[in-house]
Amino acid sequence: MLSTKLQTVLAVAEYKNFTRAAEELNMTQPAVSHHIKQLEQEVDAPLFVRNKAGLKLTPQGEIVVNYARRMKALHERMFAELQNAERHLSLLRIGITHTSESNLTAAALARYSNQKGKLKIILFTDTINNLYDMLENYELDLAIVDGAYGDPRFSSMLLDTDYLTCVMSVDNPLARKGAVTLAELRRQKMILRTPASATRTLFESALESNGESIQSFDVTLEVDNIATIKDLIRKDLGVSILPRSACLDELRKGKIAALPVENLSMVRETRIVYNKDFTHTDMLNEIIKTYGSTVMN
């Protein structure tokens, strides 16, 4: 069980206030202060400093809290696996990126859960960096991420190979062409993912490899939500650069059009990433197989 001192430091870090932490833990405020003081003596460093917003973690406090979160997650995971073994149940906590949320990944995971009967899957959606942090802290069992991958902390399996396309309304004159040139793309109003996204990074890298710059294009709107971008495209309010896998449903229904961009290589991988001590690799192969059949249907 997580020690009282570590539970206390997590509560104080969350609420940034001794009184609120005491209420959450059903303790007195002096007891909370005592536990924090004991922990500070153990690590020989201050854990919190005060500012206008309340309590703020020191650099040493950040380290303690990160490890306390990891220990809490491991403790919860241990009991979940013990319960699963006893009841013959399984639980998977899977993190996906916003791009994966918009493609067939979630549908494939739902199908896999149904096929396995008593398997429960909990999905979390976040940025790649946050998913990696959650994975390292054992708050996730798996993360499904797209774009460049090379993190030595984890292992991975290839889920899919995808590529970026120029996506537009079926009413856009370009939709009748076989491909879009960069010159034609410059004349379009563009609705793109935010600069921090893997999709945007790959697009800009492809441009730079061809001696082009994103500054030469008319980017009128930046949106982090792919579903919103596709809705704006259907209304013919601009074109975008999106993963083809994120548009499969709309393409099959004829709601939007997607064309390659001439001279731009924008291939990317989608991978299942997991901690090196994850032992259920047979489950990963089953998920990959289910994903493949979902994409084909």
Q: What is the DSSP string of 117-180?
A: SSEEEEEEE--HHHHHHHHHTTS-SEEEEES----TTEEEEEEEEEEEEEEEETTSGGGGSS-B
Max CA separation in the chain (angstroms): 72
At residue 173 the predicted structure's pLDDT band, cuts being 50, 70 and 90, is: very high
Alpha-carbon dihedral 182, 188, 191, 194, rounded to 10 degrees: 40
Give me the amino acid identity at 79: F
Report, as an integer, the average pLDDT of 5-27.
87
Alpha helix ranges (H) inside the chain: 4-15, 18-25, 29-43, 59-87, 98-102, 105-116, 128-136, 182-186, 198-209, 226-234, 248-252, 281-296
User: In 3D, which of 134, 153, 118 has the Cα closest to residue 74?
Assistant: 134
Is pLDDT of 242 > 90?
yes
**Residue 85: what pLDDT?**
60
**Residue 91: what pLDDT?**
82
Q: Are strands 119-125 and 218-222 parallel, antiparallel or unpaired?
A: unpaired
**Residue 169: what pLDDT?**
96
What's the whole-number average pLDDT of the chain?
Answer: 87
- Higher-confidence residue of 149 and 274: namely 274
Write out pLDDT tens, residues 30-83. 888 888 888 888 888 899 888 877 788 999 988 888 888 888 887 777 776 676
At residue 153 the predicted structure's pLDDT band, cuts being 50, 70 and 90, is: confident
CA atoms of 104 and 280, how far apart (whole Å): 22
At residue 1 the predicted structure's pLDDT band, cuts being 50, 70 and 90, is: low
